Amino acid sequence: MNGKTLSPVDWSLVRAFLAVADTGSLSGAARRTGVSQPTLGRQVRQLEAALGQRLFDRQPRGLAPTDTARALIEPARRMQAAMSEIELTAAGRQTELSGPVRITASDMVALHVLPPILAELHTAEPGITVDLVASNASENLLFRESDIAVRMYRPRQLDLVARHLGDAELGMFAARRYLDRAGRPRSVADLGQHSMIGYDRSEEIIRGMQARGLAATHDWFALRCDSHPVYWALVRAGCGIGFGQATLGRADPAIEEIDLGLDLPVLPVWLATHRSLRQTPRIARVWDALAAGLAPWLS
């Protein structure tokens, strides 16, 4: 285990090293980077040979970093940061009103709100291609995993430009079909007799209800689902009463709003991008399209 040659080390191996160190396994790193697992394994081995040091202990559950690897993570991160700066600086200096733009949005927004906005944008600017990442995980704008993010909270990362577009109201909804069958609740107390749809792992509805004086627990719900789009499909299918964005529910003829005077929280909607990209023509164009297109959904 010693570098027998004194040849320069391929910088791209460090990227593989970081991905493996971050995820703790070759397979995980492969999923995250899009590079295949055998390739990552070979690259790690190659880096170990080049540095003359074992970097990971191969274990059944993954690769555990050695002391040496731990010592190398910090400079590797600096490399990554510098690489990001290169990409962002270069992208920020682009002047064409065309090219790819990657947008991150929650799966709910991506599924129900963005498609018409992007359709219109594509008609107006056919040169701009959009990569839409529907994910509730916050992609890292600093590493250019995304160019523009639509978020339901105030972004707090450094070097970001963020704009508060407005607030998305929440409402309580059920399918007309369901209400015709199960009856329309007239008070908060009536809810106890209804099928409520909730989340499985997330506790947000439960906490919200409890804060409003309802004795909600995990078992209070007849049906639970963690996927927002599927959750919403359950509501539309008449599985019971659920919560969702007010604009979405009110625009849906199959659905009826249930107003019991609860003051439901509102979700702030933010647009965010990296400071280097804000003035880039095609990014600015998409930014404006999103801001304009989202406005009718917000209050």
Partner DNA sequence: GTTTTTCCATTCATATATGAAAATTACAGC
Partner DNA sequence: GCTGTAATTTTCATATATGAATGGAAAAAC
Closest distance between its own copies and the C-beta of residue 232, in Å? 29
CB 13 within 8 A of CB 50: yes
The entry of its own copies, DNA, none near residue 25 (CB within 5 to 8 angstroms by kind) is DNA
- Check residue 93 for interaction with its own copies (CB under 8 A): yes
- Check residue 115 for interaction with its own copies (CB under 8 A): no
Query: Up-side HSE of residue 18: CA atoms within 13 Å toward CB?
Result: 15
b/e 169-181 (16+ beta carbons within 10 angstroms → b): bbbbbbbeebbee
Q: How far apart are CA 195 and CA 281, in angstroms?
A: 49
- Check residue 195 for interaction with its own copies (CB under 8 A): no
Phi, psi of 66 (to 5 degrees): -80, 175
Residue 49 token pair: 């040979």
Residue from 31, 57, 64, 75 in contact with its own copies (CB under 8 A): 75
CB 17 within 8 A of CB 69: yes
Site for its own copies in 117-136 (CB under 8 A): 129, 131
Residue from 99, 229, 265, 268 in contact with its own copies (CB under 8 A): 99
Instruction: Specify the 3-state DSSP secondary structure of 155.
Output: coil
Residue from 76, 132, 188, 266 in contact with its own copies (CB under 8 A): 76
By CB under 7 A, how many residues form the interface with DNA? Answer: 19
What x-and-dash track marks residues 26-65 binding DNA by CB under 7 A? Answer: xxx-----xxxxxx-xxx--x-----------x-xxxx--
Residue 270 token pair: 């933010």
Which DSSP letter does residue 196 get? B
Residue from 27, 37, 46, 98 in contact with its own copies (CB under 8 A): 98
Site for its own copies in 2-21 (CB under 8 A): 2-6, 8-12, 14-15
**Which long-range contacts (C-beta less than 8 Å, at least 24 apart) are formed by 212-216?**
212/188, 212/262, 212/263, 213/188, 214/188
Residue from 100, 115, 116, 183 in contact with its own copies (CB under 8 A): 100
Site for DNA in 59-98 (CB under 7 A): 60-63
Of 19 and 165, the one with the shorter C-beta distance to its own copies is 19
The entry of DNA, its own copies, none near residue 61 (CB within 5 to 8 angstroms by kind) is DNA
Contacts of 136 (CB under 8 A, 6+ apart): 106, 107, 228
Closest distance between DNA and the C-beta of residue 26, in Å? 3
Residue 211 token pair: 């804060």
Q: How far apart are CA 198 and CA 145, in angstroms?
A: 31
Which residues are at the interface with its own copies (CB under 8 A)? 1-6, 8-12, 14-15, 33-34, 51-53, 67-68, 71-72, 75-76, 78-79, 81-83, 85-87, 89-91, 93-94, 96, 98-100, 102, 129, 131
Which residues are at the interface with DNA (CB under 7 A)? 25-28, 34-39, 41-43, 46, 58, 60-63
